Amino acid sequence: MNMIKNVIAATDPLQVSIPKVVLTPDSLATKIAGWVGGVAGVIVFMFFIYGGFLYLTSAGNTEQAKKGGQTIVNSILGLMILLLSYGVVTSLITVLE
């Protein structure tokens, strides 16, 4: 956002100063953990929706209802593992700083 303000406030658009971003190993690890956690969270959410769809459209088919229920349970377990691993990684990064 600061870069956009700098571009708008600049009188000469060819001489816009772009702030430098310094990446240290701990900040890079934090950013990577955030991105991986976000992507994994989206995948878990999609499996949760898929399991709910299977369960709701089973129409009396017990095998499909069981498969949908198991998919929902597995996605909830995946979410728990994701949150636990994210907590461990961020705690480890904090300790190592």
For 64-96, write each residue's pLDDT tens digit.
Answer: 999 999 999 999 999 999 999 988 988 888 888
The burial of 85, by beta-carbon neighbours within 10 Å (0-12 exposed, 13-18 middle, 19 or more buried), is given as middle
Q: Residue 24: what pLDDT?
A: 77
Q: Residue 15: what pLDDT?
A: 64
Q: Residue 55: what pLDDT?
A: 94
Tens of pLDDT, residue by residue over 4-61, are 666 566 555 566 666 777 777 777 877 888 898 899 999 999 999 999 999 999 998 9
pTM: 0.68
Q: Are 41 and 31 in contact (CB under 8 A)?
A: no
Q: Is 60 left (phi over 0), alpha (psi -120 to 50) or beta?
A: left
